[in-house]
Structure 1
Amino acid sequence: MTLPLSHLKVLDVSQVMAGPFCCMLLGDMGADVIKVEPPGVGDQTRRAMGFRLKGEDSGGFLALNRNKRSIELNLKNVSGREAFYELVRSADVLVENNRPGVAARLRIDYPTLKEINPKLVYASISGFGQTGPWSQRPGFDLIAQAMTGVMSVMGYPGMAPVKSSVPVADLGAGLFAVYAILSAVTGRDRSGQGQYIDASLFEAALGLSIWETAEYWGTGEVPAPIASANRMSAPYQAVRASDRHFVIGAANQKLWVSLCKVIGREDLIADPRFTDNVARLRNRAPLIEEIEASFAKRTADAWVAALLDAGVPAAPIYDYAEALVSEQSQAREMVMSIEHPVEGRVNTLGFPVKLGGTPQQVRYPAPLLGQHTDEILLEAGFGKQDIESFRLRGAFAS
């Protein structure tokens, strides 16, 4: 059986993270993803990060662009656009992440391309969306985390601002865009018409702020940083053992009672400060102080084993070196080694969801810049003389 999206052709006219991540997910499900890159330089992420492997492309680029083919096209050049428009005719989806207005100036905006292909599903990913007073602001994960409130709840009370190191706005926007694209494709199968999708980092980060906004609207109080704790349950956070921290998740009354029994503190069950979840949330600081006094008597590994035996969620805190070699990561194939034409064998993250009937596979490693230019244009119906003409007229030049 073929992969479920093998019937879709996707034009990836995006750079850095949100757009490339979105398109890689579509490619992992079988879509033919054509990465349209500026000649000579390509996606900015090719030159990002502070290290290189063997070639010129960064590890970050390799991580975001598997299952794609690359074509170099100068979209500021008439011949470059001519070739691009031909690709649009047979495309199902286009993803771009220019600042609002740039696509129109390049004449690759949705109204222009809709005239060429009315069935096209066109997704724009930007910092703040195509409308509103902030639409022209720079679109970076850091900016979105700052202006949505996400940074305001990170870290500990009173400390300097902290952002999530995992770029939740960028990756969230890519995920939301995939959800919208597949919904629009399904709708097009019924209506015969494509449509425009407007996704943003701002709305992705804000859209993921479920507990924080619920707390604000429910109490009228502005959510504050709570470190590793949870806004819905307590104790549900990192705690200190005799040697290091680990995490516990006593998220309901039954688990709280079991936790107290494991640590030999049944007296806490009847303590009026901790009688139910509401009381425990209100008295989180003394709660953690009480249970950490018990946890200090044994190692983190010993407590994790004892709590798990009693059915209480608990876990060690791994760094990435530990997480990637864990038995669960290995069992779930979350680390894959793939062949790259320059790098040789390189590690990449595995597929985060598994399809039972049509297992995903790496059909292409992250492409070299322009690696498939001629191949893609030949598939689009151009002859070798056409391609040479494009080349002489600057379609592939920076």
Structure 2
Amino acid sequence: MMAKSALAGIRVLELSGLYGAYCGKLFADLGASVTLVEPPGGSPMRRKPPFAGDVPGPDNSLAFAYFAANKDSVVLDFASEEGMTSLTRLAADAHLVILADHPAFGRVDLDKLCEANPALVSTRITPFGASGPYAHMTGDDLTLMAMGGLLTMAGFPDAAPVVAYGEQGVLAADQFAAVASLTAILHAEQTGQGELIDVSIQESIVMALENAAQVYQLEGRVRNRTGRAKQAGTGIYKCQDGEIYLLAGGIGDTQMWGNFAEWMEAEGVAGAALFASPDWNDKAAGAEEAFGRVFLPYAAGKTKAELYVLARQWRVPMAPMSMPPDLLDNAQLAYRGFFVPSPSGTPLAGVRMPGAPYKLGETPWALRSAAPRLGSPTASNTAKEVTA
């Protein structure tokens, strides 16, 4: 028996390009009916590498396969009156329209769509919002990360800033957009009145700056890049098959450092008595070098997995630095069933992809269908449902 979907009955139109797609996916994966409105030639996401078999093609993009799964597709030419009429007709029966960086962004009249459907929620996702001095500017994840302030804190102070991998700024904005949109849909169901949701990717990134805004407000100080903390025992250390991240130094007054010292002594590590000495200072000059002389030879004889298990036993904060193959074989992710096979019927059949980012009991996440082929509805690519 097929489980009930949390958002069954919600109808969404998605006009996206290289961002906005995750917002639609969050709705689609919980059972909403999401129709991706593509221009002639297909969504720009279809041309985003990498490609299955390293062969570019509108149906071979791994990114499109992930972001467009569970969605239907319709191709509309907004240069024609027929295309705009079709969009208005679709909007009249929808709960939500997502307008991001669709190639025909400037031709879409949201006011007209809302006239056709007063209860319609329209969500705009743009680099800098619909108003303000930068509203007319374009931007990609890198430039938005910079103008959102995150690069001021990422990397080492004597080197170039480092951008977070995976276009996380764009994905963060899509998540904010999804939450706000769902709230507006609930309100529209109660009142019959839709509204405009205006999401700025730059402002979404600002929300991820930890306490940077508060530091300036309370102390008048701008947080800058610090690299890793200058305390021995905290940072990335090499081991037998890669690297681990250890968080022990810099917290010398806590139980965790005491646990670490006891661990090293119990293992009989040469020089470990230094860490239990009342004279030990993890911030002192030469402390990092002294720590390395003791810990690195020990770590060199252990794998990431072995160190992780031992650290858990001794209640010491430590994590393996995972590479992609490590994640595919990660025991915790395997237990949760996080990676699921792509649906059949496409060139990506059998390729494992990320599954549910959350667990719901009565209304689970479900992978119901593969991403639609260009010009064909998803219905032709239905596959066995995978739930989580």
**If the TM-score is normalised by the length of the shorter chain, which range does it land in?**
0.7 to 0.9
Q: Name the CA distance, whole Å, in 2 between partners of 1:148 and 1:285.
A: 36
Q: Deviations over 1:295-350 (max 9, x none)?
A: 11312535433322111121221101111221122111121112343313332211
Given that 1:340 and 1:365 are in contact with CA atoms closer than 8 Å, whether structure 2 keeps it comes out as: yes
Q: Does 1:325 align with 2:323?
A: no
From 2, 9, 12, give the equivalent of 1:10: 12
Q: Name the CA distance, whole Å, in 2 between partners of 1:368 and 1:99.
A: 18
Following superposition of structure 1 onto structure 2, how do residues 243-254 of structure 1 map, counting pairs within 5 Å? 244-250=242-248, 253-254=254-255
Describe the SS at the equivalent of 1:25. Answer: helix
Given that 1:238 and 1:247 are in contact with CA atoms closer than 8 Å, whether structure 2 keeps it comes out as: yes
Q: 1:14 to 1:348 in 2, by over 3 A?
A: same
Q: Which residue of 2 aligns with 1:395?
A: none
Describe the SS at the equivalent of 1:245. Answer: strand
Equivalent AA in structure 1 for residue 351 of structure 2: V
Structure 1 residue 268, shift from structure 2 partner: 4.9
TM-score, length-normalised on structure 2? 0.84
Q: Which residue of 2 aligns with 1:354?
A: 359
Indicate the larger mover: 88-97 or 320-329. Answer: 320-329
Q: Which residue of 2 aligns with 1:386?
A: none
From 298, 302, 318, give the equivalent of 1:314: 318
Structure 1 residue 3, shift from structure 2 partner: 0.5
Q: Does 1:128 align with 2:132?
A: no
Structure 1 residue 185, shift from structure 2 partner: 1.4
Unaligned runs of 5+ in 1: 275-279, 376-398
Given that 2:151 and 2:161 are in contact with CA atoms closer than 8 Å, whether structure 1 keeps it comes out as: yes
Indicate the larger mover: 330-339 or 116-125. Answer: 330-339
Equivalent AA in structure 1 for residue 255 of structure 2: K
Given that 2:338 and 2:355 are in contact with CA atoms closer than 8 Å, whether structure 1 keeps it comes out as: yes
Q: Which residue of 1 aligns with 2:143?
A: 143
Q: Deviations over 1:203-231 (max 9, x none)?
A: 1111111133344445444323233559x
Q: Name the CA distance, whole Å, in 1 between partners of 2:285 and 2:163.
A: 23
Q: Which residue of 2 aligns with 1:389?
A: none
From 325, 339, 346, give the equivalent of 1:342: 346
Q: Name the CA distance, whole Å, in 1 between partners of 2:284 and 2:73.
A: 53
Indicate the larger mover: 337-346 or 241-250. Answer: 241-250
Q: Which residue of 2 aligns with 1:368?
A: 373
Q: Deviations over 1:231-259 (max 9, x none)?
A: xx996532345774311234682222222
Describe the SS at the equivalent of 2:45. Answer: helix
Q: Which residue of 1 aligns with 2:67?
A: 64
Q: 1:127 to 1:229 in 2, by over 3 A?
A: farther
Q: Does 1:91 align with 2:109?
A: no
Q: 1:234 to 1:91 in 2, by over 3 A?
A: farther
Higher RCO (C-alpha under 8 Å, 6+ residues apart):
1
TM-score, length-normalised on structure 1? 0.82
Q: Name the CA distance, whole Å, in 2 between partners of 1:139 and 1:98.
A: 10
Q: Name the CA distance, whole Å, in 1 between partners of 2:275 and 2:116.
A: 70
Structure 1 residue 95, shift from structure 2 partner: 0.3
Q: Name the CA distance, whole Å, in 2 between partners of 1:357 and 1:68.
A: 22
Given that 1:241 and 1:295 are in contact with CA atoms closer than 8 Å, whether structure 2 keeps it comes out as: no
Structure 1 residue 287, shift from structure 2 partner: 5.5
Unaligned runs of 5+ in 2: 266-271, 381-388
Given that 1:26 and 1:178 are in contact with CA atoms closer than 8 Å, whether structure 2 keeps it comes out as: yes
Q: Deviations over 1:105-156 (max 9, x none)?
A: 42x3332211111111110001111111111111311111111221222222
Given that 2:16 and 2:99 are in contact with CA atoms closer than 8 Å, whether structure 1 keeps it comes out as: yes
Indicate the larger mover: 158-167 or 21-30. Answer: 158-167
Q: 1:269 to 1:220 in 2, by over 3 A?
A: farther
Equivalent AA in structure 2 for residue 357 of structure 1: E
Structure with the higher helix share, 1 or 2: 1
Following superposition of structure 1 onto structure 2, how do residues 212-231 of structure 1 map, counting pairs within 5 Å? 212-227=212-227
Q: Name the CA distance, whole Å, in 2 between partners of 1:284 and 1:221.
A: 26
Q: Which residue of 1 aligns with 2:257?
A: 256
Equivalent AA in structure 2 for residue 370 of structure 1: G
Equivalent AA in structure 2 for residue 33 of structure 1: V
Q: Deviations over 1:274-312 (max 9, x none)?
A: 5xxxxx7xx498654443332113125354333221111
Q: Which residue of 2 aligns with 1:237?
A: 235
Q: 1:51 to 1:3 in 2, by over 3 A?
A: closer
